Structure 1
Amino acid sequence: MKSNFITKITLCGLLLNGIYSHAQQTTLEVNTSKTITKIQPTMYGIFFEDINFAADGGLYAEMVKNRSFEFAMPFMGWSQPNSNTHSLNANSGIATPVRTSQNSNNPDFCRILINDDKGYHIINEGFRGMGIKKDAKYNLSLKAANHNNAIKKIILQLIDKDKKVLGETVITPSSTDWKDYSSQIIATATEAKAQLKITFEGTGTIDLDMISLFPEETWNNRKNGLRKDIVQLLYDLKPGFLRFPGGCIVEGRTLENRYQWKKTVGAVENRETMINRWNLEFKNRQVPDYFQSFGLGFFEYFQLSEDVGAEPLPILSCGMACQYNSGELVPINELDPYVQDALDLIEFANGAETTEWGKLRANMGHPKPFNLKYIGVGNEQWGPEYIERYKVFAAAIKSKYPNMIIVSGSGPSPDGAFFDYGMQELKKLNADIVDEHYYKNPEWFKENATRYDNYDRKGPKIFAGEYAAHPKGVEDGLKENNWLSALSESAFMTGLERNADVVHLTSYAPLMAHVDAFQWAPDMIWFDNLNSFGTANYYVQKLFSNNKGTDVLAITKDGKPLTGQNELYATAAKDVVKKELILKLVNTSGKAQDVTINLSENNVNAKGKLIILTNQNLEEYNTIAEPTKIIPTERDYKMSGKKSVLNLPAYSFTILKLKMK
Structure 2
Amino acid sequence: MTATPTHSFSRLAKAALFGGLFFVGATQSIAQAPTTITVQVNKPVAPVPKNMFGLFFEDINFAADGGLYPELVKNKSFETDDKLIGWKAIKGGSALTEYIVLSEQPISKSNTHYLRLTARTNSPDAGLTNEGFRGMGVKQGEDYNFSVYARRGPGSISGLTVTLEDEKGQALAQTKVGGLTNEWKQYTGVLRPSATSGKAHLKITVEGAGTADLDVVSVFPKDTWMKRPNGLRTDLVQLLKDMKPGFLRFPGGCIVEGRTLAQRYQWKETIGDVNSRASLINRWNTEFTHRYTPDYYQSFGLGFFEYFQLAEDLGAEPLPILNIGMACQFNSAEQAPLSATTPGGPSAVVTGAEAHNHADDIDLDTFIQDALDLVEFANGPVTSPWGAKRAAMGHPAPFNLKMIGAGNEQWGPQYIERYKPFVKALKAKYPNIQLVASSGPDPGDERFKFATAQFRELKADLIDEHYYAKPEWFRQNVGRYDNYPRTGPKIFAGEYAAQSVAIASPKTRIPGIAPFLRLHL
Shorter-chain TM-score range: 0.7 to 0.9
**8 Å Cα contact 1:109/1:209 also seen in 2:** yes
Q: How does 1:327-338 map to 2 (within 5 A)?
A: 327-333=333-339, 334-338=363-367
**CA distance in structure 2 between the partners assigned to 1:226 and 1:380 by the alignment:** 28
Which of 50, 68, 71 lines up with 2:77 in the alignment?
68
**8 Å Cα contact 1:146/1:173 also seen in 2:** no
**CA distance in structure 1 between the partners assigned to 2:442 and 2:505 by the alignment:** 24
The amino acid across from 2:102 in the alignment is: V
**CA distance in structure 1 between the partners assigned to 2:403 and 2:303 by the alignment:** 18
**8 Å Cα contact 2:165/2:201 also seen in 1:** yes
What is the aligned partner in structure 2 of residue 8 from structure 1? none
The answer to whether structure 1 residue 380 and structure 2 residue 409 are counterparts is yes
Structure 1 residue 433: Cα displacement:
0.4
The amino acid across from 2:60 in the alignment is: I
Which of 270, 282, 287 lines up with 1:276 in the alignment?
282
**CA distance in structure 2 between the partners assigned to 1:320 and 1:179 by the alignment:** 41
The amino acid across from 1:63 in the alignment is: L
**8 Å Cα contact 1:470/1:480 also seen in 2:** yes
Structure 1 residue 92: Cα displacement:
3.7
The answer to whether structure 1 residue 511 and structure 2 residue 520 are counterparts is no
Which of 381, 384, 399 lines up with 1:352 in the alignment?
381
The 1:435/1:288 distance shift into structure 2, 3 A limit, reads same
SS in 2 for 1:249: coil
Q: How does 1:158-169 map to 2 (within 5 A)?
A: 158-169=164-175
**8 Å Cα contact 1:47/1:510 also seen in 2:** no
Q: How does 1:259-338 map to 2 (within 5 A)?
A: 259-333=265-339, 334-338=363-367
Structure 1 residue 312: Cα displacement:
0.3
The answer to whether structure 1 residue 417 and structure 2 residue 446 are counterparts is yes
**CA distance in structure 2 between the partners assigned to 1:132 and 1:68 by the alignment:** 21
Q: How does 1:431-446 map to 2 (within 5 A)?
A: 431-446=460-475
What is the aligned partner in structure 2 of residue 150 from structure 1? 156
Structure 1 residue 148: Cα displacement:
5.8
What is the aligned partner in structure 1 of residue 23 from structure 2? none
Q: How does 1:117-516 map to 2 (within 5 A)?
A: 117-118=122-123, 119-147=125-153, 150-333=156-339, 334-472=363-501, 510-512=511-513
Q: How does 1:34-53 map to 2 (within 5 A)?
A: 34-53=43-62
**CA distance in structure 2 between the partners assigned to 1:53 and 1:480 by the alignment:** 17
The 1:415/1:466 distance shift into structure 2, 3 A limit, reads same
* Identity of matched residues, %: 51
**8 Å Cα contact 2:76/2:217 also seen in 1:** yes
The amino acid across from 1:395 in the alignment is: K
The answer to whether structure 1 residue 114 and structure 2 residue 119 are counterparts is yes
The answer to whether structure 1 residue 96 and structure 2 residue 96 are counterparts is no
Structure 1 residue 149: Cα displacement:
7.8
What is the aligned partner in structure 1 of residue 38 from structure 2? 29
Structure 1 residue 215: Cα displacement:
1.1
Structure 1 residue 112: Cα displacement:
1.1
Structure 1 residue 64: Cα displacement:
0.1
Structure 1 residue 459: Cα displacement:
2.1
Structure 1 residue 152: Cα displacement:
2.3
**8 Å Cα contact 1:157/1:167 also seen in 2:** yes
SS in 2 for 1:388: helix
Q: How does 1:525-544 map to 2 (within 5 A)?
A: none
Structure 1 residue 186: Cα displacement:
0.4
**CA distance in structure 2 between the partners assigned to 1:101 and 1:23 by the alignment:** 77
Q: How does 1:568-607 map to 2 (within 5 A)?
A: none
Structure 1 residue 225: Cα displacement:
1.7
What is the aligned partner in structure 1 of residue 22 from structure 2? none
**8 Å Cα contact 1:349/1:369 also seen in 2:** yes
TM-score (norm 1): 0.68
Give the number of aligned pairs: 467
The amino acid across from 1:423 in the alignment is: T
**CA distance in structure 2 between the partners assigned to 1:322 and 1:30 by the alignment:** 46
The 1:327/1:202 distance shift into structure 2, 3 A limit, reads same
The amino acid across from 2:118 in the alignment is: L
The amino acid across from 1:36 in the alignment is: V
The amino acid across from 2:431 in the alignment is: P
Structure 1 residue 199: Cα displacement:
1.4
The 1:174/1:510 distance shift into structure 2, 3 A limit, reads same
**8 Å Cα contact 1:80/1:94 also seen in 2:** no
**CA distance in structure 2 between the partners assigned to 1:415 and 1:426 by the alignment:** 15
**CA distance in structure 2 between the partners assigned to 1:100 and 1:297 by the alignment:** 27
The 1:374/1:78 distance shift into structure 2, 3 A limit, reads same
State the Cα deviation string for residues 373-395 of structure 1 (Å, max 9, x = none): 00111011111111111101110
**CA distance in structure 2 between the partners assigned to 1:325 and 1:117 by the alignment:** 50
Structure 1 residue 73: Cα displacement:
1.1
State the Cα deviation string for residues 169-188 of structure 1 (Å, max 9, x = none): 11113432111111100011
TM-score (norm 2): 0.85
Structure 1 residue 37: Cα displacement:
2.2
State the Cα deviation string for residues 536-586 of structure 1 (Å, max 9, x = none): xx7xx8xx99xx9xx99xxxxxxxxxxxxxxxxxxxxxxxxxxxxxxxxxx
The amino acid across from 2:420 in the alignment is: K
**CA distance in structure 1 between the partners assigned to 2:231 and 2:455 by the alignment:** 39
Structure 1 residue 105: Cα displacement:
2.2
The 1:328/1:101 distance shift into structure 2, 3 A limit, reads farther
